[in-house]
Amino acid sequence: MKIARFSRVGFILAAAGSAVGLGNIWKFPYITGEYGGGAFVLVYLLTVLLIGFSIMIAEMLIGYMGRKDTVTSFENLAPTNKHLWKYGGFQALAGLFIMIFYSVVIGWIFHYIVTSLTYLPSSVQEAETTFNLMLHTDIWTQLFYHSAAFIWITYVLTKGIKGGIEKMNMVLMPALMIILLGMFMYALSLDTFGRAFDFMFASDWSKINSEAFVVAVGHAFFTLSLGMGAIMTYSASMEKNSNLVRNAFWVVFLDTTIALVAGLMLFTFLYQYGAGPAKGPGLVFISLPAAFYEMGIIGNVFAVLFFLALAFAGLTSSVSLVEPMVQYFIDRFDWSRVKASILMGLFFYLIGIVALLSNIDGFKEYLTWGDKNFFDWVDYVTAAIMLPAGGLIMAVFVGFIIPKSKVSAIMKPQLGFAFEAWYFSLRYLTPVAMFIVMLSLMGVF
């Protein structure tokens, strides 16, 4: 069988499509708002540069050298103890777990695309009521759109690397960039742009505490799609003789630029037309629609385009969250792609329904343990435990386990004098940072 490989541009767009997701447009602006802006942004940028970029190259390298699903790649590349190291590849499960709530959120976005055509809330309070009504009472709307997300994502996966994933990214990623750029230009013309700029780039270190620090590090991983085998699985289909450093650079560059552009644009709109920046997770579903309302009729156009862009970002990330496990069953169990895609799709779809119900009045009482409902638990366990663990395992694997001669044979020509710095970052900087993040998110300190 001929192995399907990404084209050069196809790979960069698909990996950037994975990275640019709800994390950039929905999460980054609201956590920046919560943690006070500039200093937080700086910590995030430094983490991306010093740690994220290194791990991105390491994750690409495992996939590129291994050429298989994540489990098989770990197994093949470990010189000894293969039967143990292969479990490193099960970080791919995290993606499937994330999809349990990610798909529900994409459902909300679909719903907002449709409603924004004709309706926008006239105040933040009204927006909040509308959102909460959907979240806590409207099972059928959420189920309908969650199903639509499931069908779309699964369909693309059945079409494979070339005909599905690459094709979708080649269309949706440019579309997303054009929409954001257009809206950003408009934001540039408003007089509150300067305020938004100051908020995001003027560093006020008094706002930075250890929690903000950890959130910034954790977010750098989430937004770059690291630690879950997504980038690794895509990299197994990278062209031979690819330049990993260049590819990693583009992915990190696009992901970071899009997060900053989205943040600047959203804060400009919020300053100009609505409330201030700190509005929590409801920022894009609550404060933003109310701000769009203030724009008049163009607000509806903007709202629809904005939610479309958000949906595109979410869908291109979704396929990368599921593909690692699809590839796993294809490579290890000889399943057909269609079978693997549908079964993985059904997994997140059905458990996703439980996550959806765990927000609904009348159900949530049965689906809440401790201070979190099922939806929040899935979010927490994946982000707090699985993702940093995946990052840690990869850094150790490339830094200590794969023989240095093999690593340097590929990476030295590409990295040149920076090779040792990169290697150091994998061996020491990243493990320590990941360990601290994990402990702190688990509440140890």
Q: In the set 13, 16, 22, 232, which binds ligand PFF (CB under 6 A)?
A: 22
Q: Which stretch binds ligand PFF (CB under 6 A): 15-23, 79-87, 281-289, 418-426?
A: 15-23
Quick one: which of 12, 13, 14, 19 contacts ligand PFF (CB under 6 A)?
19
**Which CB sits closer to ligand PFF, 196 or 230?**
230
Nearer to ligand PFF, 120 or 217 (CB): 217
Restricting to residues 301-340, which ones interact with ligand PFF according to CB under 6 A? 317, 320-321
Contact 387/222 with Cβ under 8 angstroms? yes
Closest approach of ligand PFF to the CB of residue 407, in Å: 23
Closest separation in Å from C-beta 227 to ligand PFF: 7
To ligand PFF, the closest distance from the beta carbon of 219 in angstroms equals 8
Q: Between residues 127 and 226, which has the closer beta carbon with respect to ligand PFF?
A: 226
Contact with ligand PFF (CB under 6 A) among 11, 13, 16, 21: 21
Stretch 202-261 residues interacting with ligand PFF (CB under 6 A): 222-223, 225, 228, 230
Decide: is 23 part of the binding site for ligand PFF (CB under 6 A): yes
Using CB under 6 A, which of the segments 16-24, 49-57, 178-186, 413-421 binds ligand PFF? Answer: 16-24
Nearest approach in angstroms of CB 372 to ligand PFF is 20
Kindly indicate which of the ranges 21-29, 104-112, 207-215, 280-288 contains the residues binding ligand PFF, using the contact rule CB under 6 A. 21-29
Nearer to ligand PFF, 101 or 222 (CB): 222
User: What is the smallest separation between the CB atom of 320 and ligand PFF, expressed in angstroms?
Assistant: 5
Q: Which residues bind ligand PFF (CB under 6 A)?
A: 18-19, 21-24, 95, 222-223, 225, 228, 230, 317, 320-321
